[in-house]
Structure 1
Amino acid sequence: MLKILVLFDTLNVVGGRPIAGASAREYQLNRELTEQGHDVRFMLGDVGCSGGWAGWPWRSYLMHYDTVYEQPQRMVEVLDGWSPDMVVATDGYAILMYGRWLADRVGARLVYEMHDDEPQLLRSLGGTDGDVDWSAVVQRAAVQASDLVVTLSPVEAELVRVGGFPPERLHWSPMGVDLAEQKESGPCLDEPVLAFVGNLYYEPNARAATALVERILPALRERGTADPRALIIGRIPDELRRELSRPGVTVTGLVPSVAEALVPATMGVAPIDAGSGMKSKILDYLAAGLPVVCSTHAAAGYPVDDLPLHIADDPARFADHVVRLWRDPAAMVEMGHRGREVAEHRYGWDSIARVVGDVYRRIRDLPPAGGVVPGDLAPRLRHRPYWQVELEAKDAWAFPRVVTAETYGLCVDGQVSVRGYA
């Protein structure tokens, strides 16, 4: 049995449910690891909590972000003698500001789950050269400070390998999909409904949804497609909802079940023009048995030669793919079946978690890699991560904080208590 501590934040957890790719991965992967007999615990940075985390199948700690960043010794205090084998973090800042320190303090191996190539993400979003360069410094330092780096696609794995990180401490683990939750509904053939799934507070998703409504739907009408519709599923800022709301567009907001929300869809689309990493929405579409039209960015990280994807980056060509599919219902159904088969054979969480567990055991049994945080970097880490700045600007802190700098939350067997430090 492994003892695994996951460092995460509450921002992308609403009502106890993960609403973005990174949070969904950590929840699903670690739920499966728990079912496979491992002792998993979550340490959550409280940036606004809507409740619901009490239903998670593991012990969780909720800490104020100021405490996490400024007084990391309190993380050891709340663990109360429990010593994990692995400390897992998904953010370079977390690795450098407290992850490496915490892992050393409790005798654990430090795992960097590198979900994106952050410099590439910032560059694709039009970030300044200074911001991109600083992000690259943080990412390289986080990699070198870790005992194991897990990437979600071979693209990021190759980036880490070329940077000189030991290959025996590098592992590529894809995103997965909950096959029990995501049933195969198949394409609805009543009318052309293009579904887009995503957290619309995330800029690449907001841009993609806007492109769908403002460029792709008009291109479909120009090609004679009668009454094409867009179905946009996911948490969304009020201003963007108002901008996208128009005839032929349904904006659901956050939904209890993505699987149920996709039932009226004819196909899944992802006209993403920025970002990096592996897009979990593609797996949602494949598992639902929907044909998929997506951009090169959206398909990154997937073995596109083996997947039933239609790929186009220009809105006109994107619309051409949609029209060809819509005019061939049998092809849409067949493409959907093939996608579901791929999801079942390659992307079930059970098999992904078993491989990750084996990798964790191997790294646990190796000597520490000797990673350190460069001393000259520490003073510069007072800059906040770009994602905190971006989401604060969008008023994404939608829920009140539960704890203060002097208290922490503890959830055991579904019972939540707020406690003071010793």
Structure 2
Amino acid sequence: MNVLFLCHRIPYPPDKGEKIRAFHILKHLAARHTVHLAAFVDDAADLAHIEALRKYVKGEMLLVPLSRVVTRARMALALLAGTPLTTSYFASAKLDRWIGEVLKRRAIDRVVLFSSAMAPFLLKRRDFDPAKVVLDMVDVDSDKWRQYAGTAGVPMKWVYAREAKTLLDLERRAATAFGATLLVSPFEARTFADLAPDAHGRIHSVANGVDLTPAPPSASPYAADEIPLAMVGTMDYWPNVEGAIWFADEVLPRVRKVLPRAHFYIVGAKPAPALQKPRDGVTVTGRVAEVAPYVAHAAAVVAPLRLARGVQNKVLEGLAHQRPVVATVAATRGLDVVPGRDLWVVDDPQAFADAVIAAATGPDRDRVAANGRALVEREYGWDITLGVLDRILDGVPPAVRKAAVWSEALVGETE
């Protein structure tokens, strides 16, 4: 088929959560179809990867740089107009014209939209059948903003609540109009199905995957006399920032009472100022040339997110590298994991510290790590997870999950 793939951020390099999923969808589509790609670029350094993208994009391609001045002006106007800030940030007359031209020049069979921010580009068109559009929302973004509103102070509390309301309206309209809407987990799909009941039959779960054959990691970046605990991610993303601070302030001191050599590494680009405060036993690396060595050589991988949606790649990567993983309920609710078998899942600071001690030095660490690796081999290879996308594009969309399965998952979260 001819597939038009519209992405809110250039899907290369796959060096952060949303770009990892977008890249693997692009790669998967390119192996089966002719892909035409349009994406926004918010980091000029990413333009150096155009040739790498061309390995996958055999059709037409448009990359649209984002200007901070322009996007902020559009967001200010969106506040007055009552429209989502998210979609105003990614508005583009140039991209809109290009879509129309491609639809005229090419016999486009399907359009795949990555993130709800791209939905307006097809919602307003009359020259393409919306039933042939697949929207990958990934997470329920409107509910993420609702969570932020619950923890923020004035005036951001009001801004976040407004964004939750306006974005949910867009998500509902898009899911009702388009042929299929994808979410990253059954939990996300159930959450959105409850919010958009008119689109229930068009909502599907397509899980994130993980690279099951990562390149052999480089030498350990850690000192020989320490017990390294690693958290990886983009470190200006608020859920990562909040989780890292919670771990450093509330959990790590409890761990170091038992394991004085324990050292927490916060690994990822663009660390927020709130992370830069000096803390005993904590290193903030900033951007690193390779993330894999920090995961592969860690005594334990931690995912202490308390505000989280969807599937956390940091958890999958830890499991794929066969490392002991300790995570919160919020960081694992999108995964089909069994606490105590595949990893440790805890929320209380002392319980989290106890789990980290067990994961880093306990007798069960190798067994649990091996079970985690076996799990991702069975269920989370990209070819396995994206097989559902193939069936949807072929016009045979499977049901997400039965309500009974969802109910069991929800019960498990409260235990």
Q: Check if 1:312 corresponds to 2:310.
A: no
- TM-score, with structure 1 as normaliser: 0.75
* TM alignment of 1:348-359, pairs within 5 A: 348-359=381-392
Residue in 1 that maps onto 2:26: 30
Q: Whole-Å Cα distance in 2 between the matches of residues 157 and 227 of structure 1? A: 42
Q: Check if 1:21 corresponds to 2:30.
A: no
Q: Whole-Å Cα distance in 2 between the matches of residues 151 and 182 of structure 1? A: 29
| 1:362 partner SS | coil
- Aligned match for 1:105, one of 117, 127, 138: 127
Residue in 2 that maps onto 1:394: none
- Aligned match for 1:196, one of 217, 223, 231: 231
* 8 Å Cα contact 1:234/1:254 also seen in 2: yes
* 8 Å Cα contact 1:231/1:265 also seen in 2: no
- TM-score, with structure 2 as normaliser: 0.77
Residue in 2 that maps onto 1:62: 63
| 2:236 partner SS | coil
Q: CA deviation at 1:177?
A: 0.4
Q: CA deviation at 1:290?
A: 0.9
Q: Whole-Å Cα distance in 1 between the matches of residues 199 and 102 of structure 2? A: 33
Q: CA deviation at 1:87?
A: 1.6
- Aligned match for 2:97, one of 73, 77, 90: 73
Q: Check if 1:144 corresponds to 2:176.
A: yes
* TM alignment of 1:263-342, pairs within 5 A: 263-305=296-338, 308-328=342-362, 330-342=363-375
| 1:27 partner SS | helix
Residue in 1 that maps onto 2:266: 232
Can you list the C-alpha shifts for 1:174-209, whole angstroms capped at 9, x where unaligned?
A: 100011226699x99964221111111211011111
- Which AA in structure 2 matches 1:86? R
- Cα 1:86–1:252 change in 2 (3 A) is farther
- Which AA in structure 2 matches 1:29? I
- Aligned match for 2:189, one of 153, 157, 171: 157
* 8 Å Cα contact 1:276/1:297 also seen in 2: yes
- Which AA in structure 2 matches 1:172? S
Can you list the C-alpha shifts for 1:361-381, whole angstroms capped at 9, x where unaligned?
A: 1169xxxxxxxxxxxxxxxxx
- Aligned match for 1:134, one of 166, 170, 181: 166
| 2:18 partner SS | helix
* 8 Å Cα contact 1:169/1:363 also seen in 2: no
| 2:127 partner SS | helix
Q: Whole-Å Cα distance in 1 between the matches of residues 93 and 284 of structure 2? A: 40
- Aligned match for 1:85, one of 104, 109, 133: 109
Q: CA deviation at 1:304?
A: 3.1
* 8 Å Cα contact 1:204/1:275 also seen in 2: yes
Q: Whole-Å Cα distance in 1 between the matches of residues 357 and 291 of structure 2? A: 25
Q: Whole-Å Cα distance in 1 between the matches of residues 198 and 114 of structure 2? A: 17
Q: Whole-Å Cα distance in 2 between the matches of residues 166 and 138 of structure 1? A: 13
- Which AA in structure 2 matches 1:311? V
Q: CA deviation at 1:253?
A: 2.3
| 1:58 partner SS | coil
| 2:326 partner SS | strand
Q: Whole-Å Cα distance in 2 between the matches of residues 138 and 26 of structure 1? A: 21
Gaps of 5+ in 2: 71-89, 152-156, 398-415
Identity of aligned residues (%): 25
- Which AA in structure 1 matches 2:134? V
Residue in 2 that maps onto 1:249: 282
- Which AA in structure 2 matches 1:105? D
Can you list the C-alpha shifts for 1:14-39, whole angstroms capped at 9, x where unaligned?
A: xx41232221101012213323x222
- Cα 1:179–1:293 change in 2 (3 A) is same
Question: Of Structure 1 and Structure 2, which has the larger fraction of its residues in helix?
Answer: 2
Q: Check if 1:214 corresponds to 2:214.
A: no
**What RMSD in Å do the two structures reach over aligned CA positions?**
2.8
Q: How many corresponding residue pairs? A: 353
- Aligned match for 2:211, one of 167, 178, 182: 178
